């Protein structure tokens, strides 16, 4: 039935009219984002027991990460401020074994000999994950020691996968007068510099909730001074004189947090390279399926962006703004929601809105780790948001174009337009990528303007696979299930060519990408 519907004129069988697209192909770009726009995080809780950091050597995990490169890989999170580096401490036996294999082979080769150790760790991971999530929920945090090998394995994962590591230093190490005690950071910098590790830096995670986590209150002015101190420290190293420093990684822009951000930027804003903040839509423990499909919930993000951009514009107007950590639901994600097809509405809309409103980089919490908001699960299986991220990387370029809609509620049928990625060999300069989300419970049709009616369009429609429907943990691209071909090979992402003059049909509760070929968009040439 669907192919027939697509051939009908704009007044459709059910009496619905198609929504008409207006595309700004003659205008200059509305915004332009970093080539590393879609970036990733690893939560520092992975090092809560450093043995589990060795899982990053898994060749399947590395193949999945490499496919999303290039980008930034931020190692941070609550645990950032509870990690102590000890250069003299013995590593865990797992870390030692892995690093001995590493020494015997090429730096980025696979480690089949480590598989038996890995199997034991994976069997123990569910109980470790419970511990991590329980500590997060209770806000009870203990210090953990990390060693040279922990840093080696982390850096090797980022480097071998084509990512640039951003490492969060512990900001809760304080001297009597509440100034930051930088001696542990210095020991860590000494080691990283001795290994020639090319790293960017952060200091602390969500300083707005330090009192809740540790009983220590640090105001924005003091934190700004601490960042100036760190910048001076970095300048002492030939390798890190030009290293980037990002911060302050504040949480949602509520009143107290906005005040902290403003005073931080006035005090230390001049020494940071981008302003970072965090965003989650909902609490993972109470979120419902309805939240994930709610236009109001999705729109709340636009308000948060506006509030942060306003503060930055008034204090350090020349600085770019990054989402330094973000996902659907805080507290590790919403069980049976954040790891399914339905999470894609929040993720794709966040990518679209961020770029449109001028957020330069978006770091997805998390690539791999505890909770349900990961892109890759504990069996190293990619989840729907992984495939959505991969398609975004392959199809969506850095230049944002104007697009609007007539004939449908734009809050329920959400559309975004970019130049097509210039790195995709299938497409040419001037091609554009439209991506759309349908929150209606019926199929919606999008009609291209007349001047594009002769153009060929490649459809990349993502639908849930299997009887769980939108709560499925697997996903189809144009009707074919997406899964790895083997541990190191990803499937080809095959387009479905639509002939000229066709309406673009988007089924109920679905999302997809449409590449309009030969659109000749001026901004994309």
DSSP string of 421-482?
PTT-TT--TT-EEEEEEE-SSS-EEEE--GGGTTS-EEEEEEEE-STTGGG-S-EEETTEE-
**pLDDT tens across 472-508, in order?**
999 999 999 999 999 999 999 999 999 998 899 999 9
Of 274, 273, 383, 275, nearest to 327 by C-alpha is: 383
Residue 107 lies in a domain: no
Structural domain range at position 452: 2-31+402-524
Q: Based on the structure, what is the number of domains in the chain?
A: 1
**Residue 507 belongs to some domain of the structure:** yes
Q: Is residue 502 part of a domain?
A: yes
* Count of other CB atoms within 10 angstroms of residue 84: 14
Q: Could you tell me which residues come within 8 angstroms of residue 437 by beta carbon, excluding any fewer than 6 positions away?
A: 345, 348, 349, 413, 414, 510, 511
CA distances (Å), origin 361, targets 103, 127, 413 = 35, 33, 25
Average pLDDT of the chain to the nearest whole number: 96
Active-site positions read 206, 325
How many C-beta atoms lie closer than 10 Å to residue 226's C-beta?
Answer: 27
394 occurs within a structural domain: no
* CATH number of the domain that residue 475 is part of: 2.60.40.1180
d(CA 481, CA 162): 27
Q: Is the pTM of this model over 0.85?
A: yes
In a domain, residue 420? The reply is yes
| Helical axes 255-268 vs 220-235, angle rounded to 10° | 40
pLDDT, tens only, 389-438 = 999 999 999 999 999 999 999 999 999 999 999 999 999 999 999 999 99
The distance between the two most distant Cα atoms of the chain, rounded to a whole number of Å, is: 74
Band the pLDDT of 12: cuts 50, 70, 90.
low
pLDDT of residue 106: 83
**Residue 162 pLDDT more than 60?**
yes
Residue 519 within a domain: yes
Confidence band (pLDDT; 50, 70, 90) for 324? very high
């Amino acid at each position: 039935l669907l192919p027939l519907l697509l051939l009908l004129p704009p007044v459709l069988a059910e009496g619905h009219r198609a929504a008409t697209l207006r595309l700004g192909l003659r205008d200059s770009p509305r915004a332009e984002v970093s080539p590393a726009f879609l970036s990733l995080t690893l939560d520092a809780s992975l090092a809560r027991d450093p043995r589990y950091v060795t899982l990053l050597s898994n060749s399947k995990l590395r193949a999945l990460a490499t496919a999303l490169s290039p980008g930034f890989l931020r190692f941070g999170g609550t645990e950032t401020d509870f990690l102590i580096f000890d250069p003299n401490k013995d590593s865990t036996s797992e870390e030692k074994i892995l690093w001995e294999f590493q020494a015997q082979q090429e730096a980025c080769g696979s480690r089949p000999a480590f598989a038996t150790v890995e199997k034991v760790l994976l069997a123990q991971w569910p109980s470790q994950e419970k511990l991590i999530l329980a500590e997060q929920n209770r806000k009870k945090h203990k210090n953990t020691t990390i060693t040279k090998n922990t840093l080696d394995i982390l850096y090797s994962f980022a480097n071998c996968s084509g990512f640039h590591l951003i490492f969060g230093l512990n900001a809760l190490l304080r001297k009597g007068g509440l100034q930051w005690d930088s001696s542990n950071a210095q020991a860590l910098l000494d080691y990283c510099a001795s290994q020639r590790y090319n790293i960017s830096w952060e200091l602390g995670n969500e300083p707005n909730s330090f009192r809740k986590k540790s009983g220590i209150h640090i105001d924005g002015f003091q934190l700004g001074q601490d960042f100036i101190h760190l910048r001076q420290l970095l300048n002492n190293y030939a390798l890190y004189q030009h290293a980037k420093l990002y911060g302050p990684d504040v949480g949602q822009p509520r009143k107290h947090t906005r005040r902290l951000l403003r005073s931080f930027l006035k005090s230390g804003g001049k020494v940071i390279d981008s302003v970072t903040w965090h965003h989650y839509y909902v609490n993972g423990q109470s979120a419902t399926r309805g939240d994930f499909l709610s236009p109001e919930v999705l729109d709340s993000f636009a308000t948060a962006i506006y509030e942060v951009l306003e503060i930055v514009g008034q204090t350090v107007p020349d600085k770019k703004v990054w989402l330094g950590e973000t996902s659907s639901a805080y507290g590790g994600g919403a069980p049976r929601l954040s790891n399914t097809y339905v999470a894609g509405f929040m993720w794709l809309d966040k990518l679209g809105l961020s770029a449109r409103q001028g957020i330069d980089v978006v770091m997805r919490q998390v690539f791999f780790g505890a909770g349900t908001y990961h892109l890759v699960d504990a069996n190293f299986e990619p989840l729907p948001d992984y495939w959505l991220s991969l398609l975004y990387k392959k199809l969506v370029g850095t230049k944002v174009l104007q697009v609007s809609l007539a004939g449908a509620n734009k809050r329920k049928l959400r559309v975004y337009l970019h130049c097509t990625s210039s790195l995709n060999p299938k497409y040419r300069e001037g091609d554009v990528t439209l991506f759309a989300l349908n929150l209606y419970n019926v199929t919606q049709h999008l009609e291209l303007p007349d001047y594009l009616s002769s153009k060929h369009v490649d459809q990349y429609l993502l639908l849930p696979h299997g009887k769980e429907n939108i709560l499925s943990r697997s996903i189809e691209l144009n009707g074919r299930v997406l899964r790895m071909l083997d541990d190191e090979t990803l499937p080809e992402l095959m387009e479905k060519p639509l002939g000229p003059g066709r309406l673009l049909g988007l089924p109920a509760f679905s999302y997809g990408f449409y590449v309009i070929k030969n659109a000749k968009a001026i901004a994309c040439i």
